[in-house]
Every structure is written in C-alpha cells, then in structure tokens.
Structure 1
Amino acid sequence: MIKSLVTGGAGFIGSHIVDKLLNAGHSVICLDNEFADNEIFFWNDKAQNIKGDIRDANLLSGLLPGVDYVFHCAAESRIVPAIKNPLNTLDINVLGTANLLQCSREAGVKRVIFSSTSSAYGLNPVPNVETQPEDCLNPYSVSKVSAEKICSMYSNLYGLQTIIFRYFNVYGERAPRKGQYCPVIGIFLRQKEAGESLTIVGDGNQRRDFVYVGDVANANLIAATKEISSNHFGQVYNVGNGYNISINEIAKSISDDFIYVPSREGEAFENLADITKFKSTFHWEPQMTVENWIAKQI
C-alpha cells in the first residue's frame, strides 16, 4: 500500500489532501501541531493522526521510514501575523521545511510536494508566470520563497524529488472564518451569516485568482503519483484558476450590505495565475469556479 504523510493535515488545505489520499487507497499519516488560529481542526479518523511539529527531527525520523510521498502544508500562513512576528514565521516556514526535507532524504521518501504561495510574485505584472522574478513584500512571502529554494537545492544536490506549488487564493469548504486575517471569502460568509456588513479592505478593486480547494487537493495527488522526467523536479508550478475577479465582485455576489475599511501593507493589488506549465506537465485542469461555489453556499 502507498504510504503518505501530510504536514498541516488537520488544517484547511491539508485536510482535503488527507481525504483525497485516503479515497485513493493510501495509508496516511496526518501531522499537525494545531498552532494555527483556526476555530476547528479536521482530523480524519481513517488516518494515523499525530499532534506534533515539523521542527521536531526526532518525531519526523520516527514517522518517515516507509513513507512514499510527503505533502508539506504546515506553515505560518497569514500575512499580518507574519509581519508582526517575522522570526516565528521564518523558524516555521524555512527551518521547519529544511528539517522535513533532510528527514525525508534520510528516510528515502520518493517525492515531496511543497505548498508555497503566489505572494512570491508581489508587484509583478499579471499574468503571473513562473519565470518572473520574486518580489517579496512581507516576511511570509520571503519565508516561502526561501523554502522553495531549499526544495530546489534538495532536488538538484541530493536527488530528492520535490515539486513546488504556488497556490493562488484558495477557497472552499473548511476555510478559516475566525478573526480578521482569514481568507476573504471566509470572512464575507461569516459576516453574511451573522447579519453584519461585509468589510472590504481598501477600495475593493483588488483582483484575485481564486482556486477551489478540491482542485488543489487533486493537483497534489496528480503531482505526487505521475511519472515525469527528472528535469521537472525542484521546479515551481502555479496552481490557480487562470482568471481573476475583483473583491468588490465577490462581496456583491454574497451581500448588498458592505463597507470599506483601510487597506493593508504588504499585499499586492492583483494576481493572476498562468497555469500553462502545470497543465502541460501534469494534465491537470481546475473544475470549479468561485462564482458557482459561492452561489451554492448562499
């Protein structure tokens, strides 16, 4: 039986990957320290569930022998908390990733799929393509790009098969809705359910490429198991929908009651994924649009 480990596996994206792997017949280890500021964690009873930290080399050394694939989702993943505490973000996202890669190498893991971020593109013009230079606007994107380069180094120097995903704005079931820094669609749906005005940051004309979490989970499974040539490892691949939509349009599709609040530092005005590279390499296509998903929710 194929054996996989998912870090951050009780969180939003990780839990969907766990479910996808179990449905595909994998034996799954789910590792999560529950440090994220989530209102709920999604542990699947069919997995081997471990509460622990990716920075614990002794723990990883005990879990990884016999594991075929590692899906690395664990991270400090919110921009504003990263700005407030950059050292914690760097510790988790850079050193934690390096620790996981070294332990995976020592254990003979076949392939590591790393969840990175489109915020690496910063103020680059859209569409965002993997050949654009990094433009990190905050500690979160710096930490993720640093971890990307460590993944590439482990492929190029040590032969560990790594694949780097730059997710755009992931939405869907189980997305965090707690606090002011969770993903925008989660905030809007929470405010709608509470009968509150939707709070739009800035002027609302910012445009985002929203990609469905089920499509992201499917991308992970395909990337782990598909046979590809060695030159595809250690490379970055965009995972998005390939079109963008304004925050104003998202808000108006949920409620007519909204207000505007001041903009935030360290965030790009627009992103848009060019997904040509991933589609051509792995033959993956997004199946859900954000408009259709929101319509089903409300």
Structure 2
Amino acid sequence: MKTEQNNGNYKTVDTCFVPKDYETLIHLAAITDPQTANEADVFRVNYAEAVEFFERALVAGVKRIVWASSASVYGDGPAPQTEGQTVRPLTAYAESKALLEVSAARLSAKYGVPMIGLRFSNVYGPGEAHKGKSASVVYQLVRQMRNGERPRLFWHGEQSRDWVSVHDVCRAITLATERGGSGVYNVGSGVATCFNNVVATINEQGRLDLTPDYIPNPFKGYQSYTKLDLTRSGAHLGYVPQVDLVNGIRELLTSEEINGK
C-alpha cells in the first residue's frame, strides 16, 4: 500500500512504499520535539524506520538520498560548529540523528550511492501553524507577541541560536539533490542570535513594545549556543544563506497564518 501526493516535481510517499523508478529520495520525516518523553518512539521513527526505508530505496535503485539530520548532534560542542568535530548529542532526538549519520555512511559505502545528511540548525518560517508546541521558537514568539502577549524566555535570554529560514533550507535541499558527495553538511545562517535580540527584532519590525517574562529552564540537554560553519556546504553544495533573521521575522509578521487571515 502506498500514498502519493504530487507537488510540482516531487512526490510525497509513506514508509510502506518501496520506491522504484525514482532517482532521488528526500527524507525529512522525524519526531522533531527534542523533549519528547517516549525515547523509544524517537529511536524507532528517527533511526530504525529510516534505516529500513533507506535500504529499501537503495535496493530498488534510488541513485541519491538527501535526508534531514540536525545541528542538535553538536550538543554543547565548541562553536562555530564544523562537520568534522566530535558530536555530543544531549537528547534522544540528537542521538537518533547521530546514529542515522553513521548508518547512512555505511549504506552509502555498501551501495555506492551518495547519501547526503543536512544538519539543519534552528529552522523557522511560514507554514508552522500545524506543529503546535513543536513550532520553532521564532514562530511562537512572533505569534505570541503579535497577539499582545509578553514573550517568555529562559533566564536570562542570552542563549543563542543559528536561526535559518525555511526558504534557505529548501534551497539547500534542492542543491543537495544536484551535487555533493556522501556525508553531512551544515545548513544554517552562520550567525548566532540570542533570544533577547530575537524579541527586540520582533518588537522593532512589528512596532511593538513587549518586554520578556523570564522563567527557569526546566529542560536537561539544552543547547545554549549554536553557530554553524558553512564552509563545507558552500564549497560542495554551493549553499549560501539568503534570508537574514530580520527579513525572516518581517515575513512572519505579515503572513496570513500569524494575522489570522
């Protein structure tokens, strides 16, 4: 049994499908909430089922696999984070992605097919409404502040992230379907911006004046700083980010989903 949904030059299929007569498989499915309580489900969906799907695709003759890894594998590693440094996963989600990178490399060597893992940093942008509490922090802050709510940040709001627009992520995926050898590649903005500055930008671009409400951080395994080195992805994929955080926030502030239209 299979399900397919045409979307331009792409088709979306479920994992029961054995892909045949396709040149490239793009795999983005995962449990993405790093604080998900059921770790067994995380490893089953993000790792075991992904490996099984990859091997079925390779046996069926797929010529290239592009899949979503995550900058979460760096954990508390030094920044700017480079693809060659030792991974330090702090959550089950991050560990599942790190394990999948190892298996993807093994499958690539076994079948002689390029398998490209894209280490996305903190992705944000339009189209996140359905994700609920799993939506990006940028998206949630824009929505809250647009509704007149004070933004809630963990003390003292100085944790920093490499925020990357979904438009740049889509561009990176497209590039990876066309070029690049097996391995992992960073996909981010190359810039670290703290949560306080995200709030300040939303205030400025939205003509708002809402001060943060600081609360304790209840989470273990919390990354405090991400800033990705984009040298390798630029050289091998031709990836260069094009949407800075100011313009990305401006787009969200004017989007229909944020404004309830």
Q: Place the TM-score, normalised by the shorter chain, in its bin.
A: 0.7 to 0.9
- Which residue number corresponds to residue 34 of structure 2? 79
SS at match of 2:41: helix
Q: What CA distance in whole angstroms lies between the structure 2 residues aligned with 1:127 and 1:72?
A: 26
- Which residue number corresponds to residue 60 of structure 1? 17
Whichever residue aligns with residue 17 of structure 2, its letter is L
Contact 1:165 1:239 in 2 (8 A): yes
Deviation at 1:268, TM superposition (A): 1.0
Task: Give the count of matched residue pairs.
Answer: 244
The reply to whether residue 281 of structure 1 matches residue 236 of structure 2 is yes
Q: What CA distance in whole angstroms lies between the structure 1 residues aligned with 2:251 and 2:134?
A: 24
Q: 1:261 to 1:121 in 2, by over 3 A?
A: same
The reply to whether residue 169 of structure 1 matches residue 119 of structure 2 is no
- Which residue number corresponds to residue 260 of structure 1? 214
- Which residue number corresponds to residue 270 of structure 1? 225
Deviation at 1:178, TM superposition (A): 5.3
Q: What CA distance in whole angstroms lies between the structure 2 residues aligned with 1:169 and 1:116?
A: 12
Q: What CA distance in whole angstroms lies between the structure 2 residues aligned with 1:295 and 1:29?
A: 31
TM-score (norm 1): 0.77
1:88-121, CA deviations, whole angstroms, 9 ceiling, x for partnerless residues? 0000001111111111111100100010100100
SS at match of 1:70: strand
Q: Which runs of 5+ in 2 are unaligned?
A: 204-208, 254-261
* Mapping for residues 166-245 of structure 1, pairs under 5 Å: 166-176=119-129, 179-226=132-179, 228=180, 232-233=181-182, 235-245=183-193
- Which residue number corresponds to residue 160 of structure 1? 113
Q: 1:65 to 1:179 in 2, by over 3 A?
A: closer
* Mapping for residues 6-85 of structure 1, pairs under 5 Å: 22=8, 26=9, 28-31=10-13, 52=14, 54=15, 59-61=16-18, 64-81=19-36, 84-85=37-38
Contact 1:165 1:238 in 2 (8 A): yes
Two-structure CA RMSD over aligned residues (Å):
2.0
Contact 1:178 1:187 in 2 (8 A): no
Contact 1:129 1:274 in 2 (8 A): yes
Deviation at 1:177, TM superposition (A): 6.8
Q: What CA distance in whole angstroms lies between the structure 2 residues aligned with 1:270 and 1:245?
A: 9
Deviates more, 1:127-136 or 1:196-205: 196-205
1:36-82, CA deviations, whole angstroms, 9 ceiling, x for partnerless residues? xxxxxxxxxxxxxxxx4x3xxxx222xx111111111000011111x
* Mapping for residues 94-113 of structure 1, pairs under 5 Å: 94-113=47-66
Percentage identity across paired residues of the two chains: 28
Q: What CA distance in whole angstroms lies between the structure 2 residues aligned with 1:178 and 1:89?
A: 17
- Which residue number corresponds to residue 4 of structure 1? none
Q: What CA distance in whole angstroms lies between the structure 1 residues aligned with 2:73 and 2:24?
A: 25
Deviation at 1:254, TM superposition (A): 1.6
- Name the structure, 1 or 2, with higher relative contact order (CA <8 Å, separation 6+): 2
TM-score (norm 2): 0.88
Contact 1:80 1:181 in 2 (8 A): no
SS at match of 1:211: strand
- Which residue number corresponds to residue 248 of structure 2? 293
Q: What CA distance in whole angstroms lies between the structure 1 residues aligned with 2:86 and 2:76?
A: 10
Whichever residue aligns with residue 97 of structure 1, its letter is A
Deviation at 1:176, TM superposition (A): 4.1
